[in-house]
Chain A
Amino acid sequence: MADETRSGLDAVEEGPAASEDAESAASGAGTLAPEHPSVKALRARFGEAIHSHEVGCRGQHVVFVDAARSREILEWLRDDPDHHYQFLSDLTAVDYGGGRPLHVVYQLFSMTHHRSLRVKCVLPVTALEIDSVEPLWKTADWLEREVYDLFGIRFNGHPDLRRILMPENYAEGHPLRKDFPLRGRFSRAEQTRRALSQEVADFYIPEEMEIGRDPQVLGHEQDGDALPSGENA
């Protein structure tokens, strides 16, 4: 790590250095791993769709699966009585930078068998799309929205895929991507201008704007009723 000698503010501005090659970033060490029962079963059942299996630090098992079949594989992992990963601990993504593919990470835990498994899907930056697991685990609803918001990965089949942490009309991109600068893409002046020019309607999603616009209320107005007109705003 010859370029790690930068210090102080220089290092803060430059951010983390990308590692030398994609392989070292994507893979942990250790091939003498003890076999994980679920991985063995996955291999037997899905064959080609299970790309690789790694054991990281302290025996944490990671299995790379085909992104196109991820939903099917995860559903099987959740429902098969021998595995029964009914708890989705975490769902997140990792960007290694430098145009390398993004990883979507599912951290599963089986309360029945006391077993953990990390499932990863590799998505090329040109096609950041994967099937949503919201129908399998409701907890994925917000977690997928967060990944979409911060990484720009689209989850097909998600019922309400919109930004969650950043404002809905945020135009600077997806903050946790490595090509996103720490202070944002816009200048400070532009950011302030945008913040000040927001209108009331910007704080509501279209669904919410419909509430209170009941046809019957509009009917009252047509009748010349004494209903204050501001009430349905």
Chain B
Amino acid sequence: MSTKTVEFAVGRTPEMGVDSRPTYGPLAPIDLGEPDIGSEHMLINIGPQHPATHGVLRLVCELDGETVLRVIPHIGYLHSGFEKLGEYRSWNQVVPLTDRMDYLAPLIYNCAYVMSVEELMGIEVTERCKVVRVILMELDRIFGHLLFSGTWSIDVGAFTPFLYTFQEREKIYSLHESLTGARITTSATRVGGMMADLPEGWADACRKFVNELPRTLDQVDYLLATNGIHLGRTQDVGIISGEEAINYGFTGPNLRASGVPYDVRKDKPYYDYETYDFEVPIGEHGDCYDRFLVRMEEMRQSIRIINQALDRLPDGPINVEDPRISLPSKTDCMNDMESMIHHFKLITEGIHAPVGDSWFSVEASKGELGMYVVSDGGTKPVRWRVRPPSFVNLSVIPKLAEGHLMSDLIMINASLDIVLGEIDR
């Protein structure tokens, strides 16, 4: 029977070396008298119900000791068939499905979907609508990144930043609620405009929030950015080079942490993003720590964008004035025969889209969010495809985690900032 031997420096006193660090002599093998199972590979199943997987993700790992040799992700536990359901609903009825995908930044999904449909239908939304959507999307980018920095700090073993960031998220929840009536399932957009205009005082509340946010960001930065434990666990962990990251389809902060300055807002600008003054932070090493830093900086840039957008927020209608797209006002509907007919047609039939297809992408909090809609001329999509950024980002985890320790796998998973609702759809 082979027994396990471990090399220990027992019974030896350290001597001070030249650089005043203790040096030990050669290590002595010690027979532990236990069976040697050193070459046995272990199968560890994490999830689907596990807090460190950030949702119902299941990772099957092959371990040698504590080293991860292979990770096989299993997804689909939250599969709801949203894309199939979308084919059975009119263009506007799809909106509530979109915010259930990324429930951590629902407004970006609402906006991205209607933007792709507007592209398909050739609708130009009003100036006010554009600016409002920019505000909402940037607000939800902060919303998503705040959740990231909170759960990230829990994974690294720090609890306080989690409380700080969730306190701030609560304020965004309130902003959601006063705008849409819902905290998570916002469903705020409609084809050609918004469900409702900003309520009175909302813009001021939003400005107050973004002006107070940097204080919390500084606190989180203070607690994490130079924290020894945090650095030790995240620096040089899960490195991917820029070229590989592109080939693997990384987008968003994950890609930019590898030094590739690809941001849909800059590279394929929509909604006049080219006229806003903001910068795209990029990382240098492509490790977990850089992904954290990029997201922290992105929140600050989002604050800049929101402030500029609030400054230029124009007056005027928020919905396009086209009776084929937007509902008439309730007063018109009750007093004007024509408006009542339009109202009836829109409610019973929905909007007719021209034949064709459209692929449109926005920069979501997780990465490039693409929406592909195909129409055959009817009032429902023939195909509604979502290019989920988390789905593609997660597919890289087997490569990133290979050869790292088990505890590093948790950090790598946290650094990708996934949301399972959108991965499984």
Contact = CB atoms under 8 A, between A and B. Distances in A.
A58 B392 contact: no
B384 to A, nearest CB: 10
Interface in B172-195: none
B202 to A, nearest CB: 31
Interface in B36-71: 37, 39-43, 60, 62, 70
B379 interface: yes
Contact of A1 (B60, B121, B378, B425): B378
A16 B377 contact: no
The CB with the most chain B CB atoms within 10 A, among A28, A118, A204, A226, is that of A28
A211 B43 CA distance: 6
A10 to B, nearest CB: 11
A25 B355 contact: yes
B26 interface: no
Contact of B87 (A15, A142, A214): A15
A90 B348 contact: no
Interface in A189-227: 203-205, 207-208, 211-212, 214, 216-217, 220, 223, 225-227
A92 B372 contact: yes
B301 interface: no
B72 A90 contact: no
A94 B378 CA distance: 16
B424 interface: yes
Interface string B139-165: 000000000000000000000000000
B171 to A, nearest CB: 34
A60 B383 CA distance: 17
Interface in A156-210: 163-167, 175-176, 180, 182, 203-205, 207-208
Nearest to A160: B72
A127 interface: no
Contacts of A42: none
Secondary structure class of chain A's binding surface, majority of residues: loop
Given A166-B76, A175-B81, A227-B37, A139 B392 contact: yes
Contacts of A107: 359, 370, 372, 387
A166 B374 CA distance: 24
A226 B381 CA distance: 63
Interface stretch (A45-53, A63-71, A81-89): A81-89
Nearest to B81: A175
A18 B43 contact: no
Given A58-B119, A118-B359, A139-B395, A211 B385 contact: no
B35 A60 contact: no
A182 B41 contact: no
Interface in A103-131: 105, 107, 111, 114, 116, 118
Given A15-B88, A25-B376, A216-B40, A89 B370 contact: yes
